[in-house]
Amino acid sequence: MRIRLLPLVYLLACLICAGNMQAQTTGEIVSPINLYKEGRELFLQKNYAAAIPALQSFVNRQSSLQELFQEAEYMLVCSAYELNDPTGTTLLEAYLKKYPDSPYANRIHTLLAANAFYQEDYEQVLKLLLSSQIDILEDKERDDATYRIAVSYMKMGNLTDAAIWFNMLKVHASSSRYQNDCTYYISYIRYTQQKYDEALEGFLSLQNDTRYSSLIPYYTAEIYLFQKQYDKVESIAQSYLTTYPSNAYTAEMYRILEETYYRKKEPLKAVTAFEEYTRRESSPRRTAFYLAGLSYYQLEVYSKAATALEQVVPVNDELTQNAYLHLGLSYLQSAQKNKARMAFEQASAMNTDPKVKEKAAYNYALCIHETSFSAFGESVTVFERFLNEFPNSVYAGKVSSYLVETYMNTRSYEAALKSIERIARPSNQIMEAKQKILFQLGTQSFANAAFKEAIDYFDRSTAIGKYNKQTQADASYWRGEAYFRMGNMQQAARNFNDYLQSTGQKKDDTYALAQYNLGYTAFNQKNYALALTWFKRYINLVKQKDETVADAYNRIGDCHLQTRNF
């Protein structure tokens, strides 16, 4: 420890007076060797202020004792340093420059390192001490140097070497002066290395050291929090806050309590601790805002949830994706759909957590669907993308329902078909919609007299007919109608028969009409006996008599005529 006794002005005055006195009185009385001995004895007694006049007089005297000058000058510069002379460091460096091979160079390096340590120039400390032989220093100075090396490594972020030097000091120190300091710093390093059991053991051993009494509970609470021993954390934090209601670590203890209550699923207590924390802390941690946002969301205080989570999302890390998701959900509950949509879009674009990404993508698609200005547009695109990206999602069924609803309600069948073709693994619900869409496209082509095109659509619809049997049957019927219009009576008859065998609507007008058409396919192929059968079946099924019934009666007559059944 540097002794701060005399200001430089007083020291210089002493030197001047001492010089004058030597010249006027003692110069002729006290021999140089006695001046040297007197100065050296006072120096060894650490009476640096008294040592300086004698040593300075010795140096100023011309004598044959030149071999002692180097040591005398060493004692002078060391005395100036120990007395906190502002030029002390400069004097030490000048001495080394004058005597580079001095046997005292090792200790001077140690003094220069001590000065650099007080000035927090840790790089210079290491440069000086690691190039010195600190093992040959006196015990106390060796311990001091070892401690300064360890602290310097730690301050520069080299925790591995810091731990090595702290352990070395703890084991080999000449006294117990640094024992608790070493224990604390080693425990802190183990804490940063997530070696919590080892750190906890060290911290707990310092509980009765008053220098660390306000620090140890903070670290032990943090460690118990990492170890999920939430009851212990709560007990330590509450006790600490009672003992130190306005300590430097009080705010941090409230933050620890917030996380503890959040993990214990006590959101009301969590937000109370959060509010105490932010009241005391000018720069709260993002994690505190994150947990507060989730707690407020659980309490259904959506405005405060959004306010807290807005403090989290500007930084892109592992918290951001879930923060965006819950920010979107909070906005949604506050009827701010556009803000919700943007938050969900951000969360869905991140890959940190696949489950969060999936939920965000689903909610984003819903927001697009509900706010879209186009009946068939962006919402279909995002639904397609969702089903392609999350084919096994728990939300896939709902998304498929929304898509089918859009497909069928907008009647944009061509666009709907293209949309379905872009879905890699469409659900049964989507495939059923595809079957119906192909059928509708077929009927549109039929209405436009594009019978070949209609047949192609009906073929594609019946090919996937397992999803809706009635649509498959209806496609067969209208395919028969198309073939009939094209004069292909055999194919027409086959399709009408397929319809009759597969339809579940036996009382529908189409069921009767298919038999009327079968009568005509047989009649046109001059199979009058078969035609007669179908026309009679048709008449028996139809309750209301109309022009078609009259026509059927006429064809029955024609059949009898052709078969000469008068």
CA distance 141 to 178: 12
Looking at residue 463, the DSSP 8-state letter turns out to be: H
Among 136, 165, 140, smallest CA distance to 150 is for 165
CA distance 566 to 553: 15
User: What pTM was estimated for this model as a whole?
Assistant: 0.73
Q: What is the 3-state secondary structure (H, E, C) of 414-456?
A: HHHHHHHHCCCCCCHHHHHHHHHHHHHHHHHHHHCCCHHHHHH
**CB distance 170 to 186 below 8 Å:** yes
Token reading at 523 = 């009649």
pLDDT at 29: 57
Token reading at 490 = 């055999």
Low-confidence ranges of the chain (pLDDT < 50): 1-28
Q: Which is it for the CA torsion 47, 49, 53, 58, positive or negative? A: positive
pLDDT at 13: 39
CA distance 417 to 433: 9
**CA-CA-CA-CA torsion for 66, 69, 71, 74, nearest 10 degrees?**
-160
4: CB partners within 8 A, 6+ apart: 83, 84
How far is residue 8 CA from its own chain's centroid?
A: 57
3-state percent helix, strand, coil for the chain, nearest multiple of 5: 75, 0, 25
Q: Encode pLDDT of 28-81 as tens digits.
A: 457 889 999 999 999 999 999 999 999 999 998 866 777 899 999 999 999 999
Which burial class, exposed, middle or buried, applies to 310 when counting CB atoms under 10 A from its CB (0-12, 13-18, 19+)? middle
pLDDT at 411: 83
CA distance 314 to 451: 60
CA-to-CA dists, residue 482 to 56, 98, 361, 441, 457, angstroms: 126, 115, 44, 13, 11
**Helix ranges, 68-172 (H):** 69-82, 88-98, 105-118, 122-130, 139-155, 159-172
Residue with tokens 């602290």: 151
pLDDT at 369: 87
Q: How many CB atoms are located within 10 Å of the residue 325 CB?
A: 25
CA-to-CA dists, residue 562 to 70, 243, 274, angstroms: 147, 115, 98
CA distance 249 to 268: 23
pLDDT at 46: 93
386: CB partners within 8 A, 6+ apart: 361, 362, 365, 393, 395, 396, 399
Q: Encode pLDDT of 270-295 as tens digits.
A: 999 999 999 999 999 999 999 999 99
Quote the strand ranges of 455-528, DSSP E. none
Token reading at 169 = 């000091």
CA distance 495 to 349: 50
pLDDT at 127: 96
